[in-house]
Amino acid sequence: MDVTPFIVLSAILFTIGCVGVLTRRNAIVVFMCVELMLNASNLALVTFSRANGNLEGQIAAFFVMVVAAAEVVVGLAIIMTIFRTRRSASVDDASLLKY
Amino acid sequence: MVAFWILAPVMVAAALGLLFARKAVHAALLLAVVMISLAVLYAVQDAPFLFAVQIIVYTGAILMLFLFVIMLVGVDASDSIVETIRGHRAASILVGLVFGLTLVLGVAQVSFGAPLGLDEANSEGNIPAVAKILFTRYVFAFEITSALLITAALGAMVLAHRERLTPKPTQAQLAAQRVRDYAEHGKHLGPLPPPGVFARHNAVDTPALLPDGTAAEASISRVLAARGTVKSAPELAEDVKALTEGDD
């Protein structure tokens, strides 16, 4: 199995996640796009682990998953708190720190 | 490689759907497709441990969390199409395309050589091998993640906790309030009227009729009324009329 297709797929998924973060306005969907980017990087890590013949890449992917789980928990709690006070899950509405 | 060529188009299509899905629920389900396909790709690439973790942590825990929050925030909290910064969407799509093209072209031109494969590293099984590395070289990082998880759990509890600002009303207070409402505003004392029970409809979206033939506002749920799924009495009458005329 060649390595390049996996890495290209990972790059494509990462790009799609990137564009999603930039264009979508719903905070939950933005968050999902961040998850997509993390997953894409995980795919690259696992692929490189296979290419280099050691398991360090898989360990790195495992740590990324752990951190992603923690990040999702806190992030979703923040989104919920913002929604509760402002009745909106749009990233454009939470702009109080700007002024 | 067969698994890859089958799953890669599916994953890219689902990820693109994430960009265009109007509703957050659809986006979450498309993300589930991407994540499960990724798990299969991990399994293909000699990473059975990560395959299981991907299914359990990502599709099991994280996506369920997403769906729960969508449920709390409101399923129909869809995106606004209004741009707050002019030309923002076009600019970000352009930047994304340029970024993606550079990344893909750059990566595609690198020659990675033949993959060494994990047969040697996995000779005693993938999970024992992963455990050996995790609990020797990365044991400190592993312990730190436990602190991270506890901090995250505490943070989520603090953020999601809602402080009760007023004391909870007792049943006696609620009863007194009800009687006061009746005295001051003439609000009906008893329970709300049930939904209408007609010959063909007895669902909660059917309003009860008052003696003068108008719909009783209090007999239907406010949520259903706001969604516009409530069928008005005249509409129902039309239905019945159409049906009886069809019989004749």
The ipTM, to two decimals, is 0.92
B122-129: long-range contacts at Cβ-Cβ below 8 A with a sequence spacing of 24 or more?
B122/A55, B122/B46, B126/A55, B126/B46, B126/B47, B126/B48, B126/B49, B127/B48, B127/B49, B129/A55
The CA distances from residue A89 to A64, B83, B226, in Å, are 26, 16, 20
pTM (two decimals): 0.79
Mean pLDDT for the stretch of residues B146-155: 94
pLDDT digits (tens, 9 = 90+) for B226-235: 767 777 767 7
Domain B1-77 coded CATH 1.10.3720.10: no
Domain ranges in chain B?
Answer: 1-77, 125-157, 174-247
Is A36 within 8 Å of B103 when comparing Cβ atoms? Answer: no
The C-alpha of B207 sits at a distance from chain A's nearest C-alpha, in angstroms, of 29
Q: CA angle B27-A90-B98, nearest 5°?
A: 65
pLDDT of the residue at B79: 59
Q: Which residues are CB-contacts of A92 (< 8 A; sequence separation ≥ 6)?
A: A25, B80, B84
Contacts of A79 in chain B (CB under 8 A): 69, 73
Is B115 within 8 Å of A32 when comparing Cβ atoms? Answer: no
Nearest residue of A to residue B109, measured between CA atoms: A4
CA B112 to the chain's CA centroid: 39
Mean pLDDT for the stretch of residues A49-70: 92
Mean pLDDT for the stretch of residues B70-96: 77
Q: Which residue has the tokens 């009860």?
A: B208
pLDDT of the residue at B12: 95
Q: What pLDDT band is residue B245 in, cutting at 50, 70 and 90?
A: confident
pLDDT of the residue at B233: 66
pLDDT of the residue at B78: 56
Q: Quick check: helix, strand or coil at residue B102?
A: helix
Mean pLDDT for the stretch of residues B42-55: 93
- Whether B81 has a pLDDT exceeding 90, the answer reads no
If you average pLDDT over every residue of chain A, what do you get?
89
Residues B215 and B191 sit within 8 Å (Cβ to Cβ): no
The answer, for A86 touching chain B at a CB cutoff of 8 Å, is no
pLDDT of the residue at A92: 76
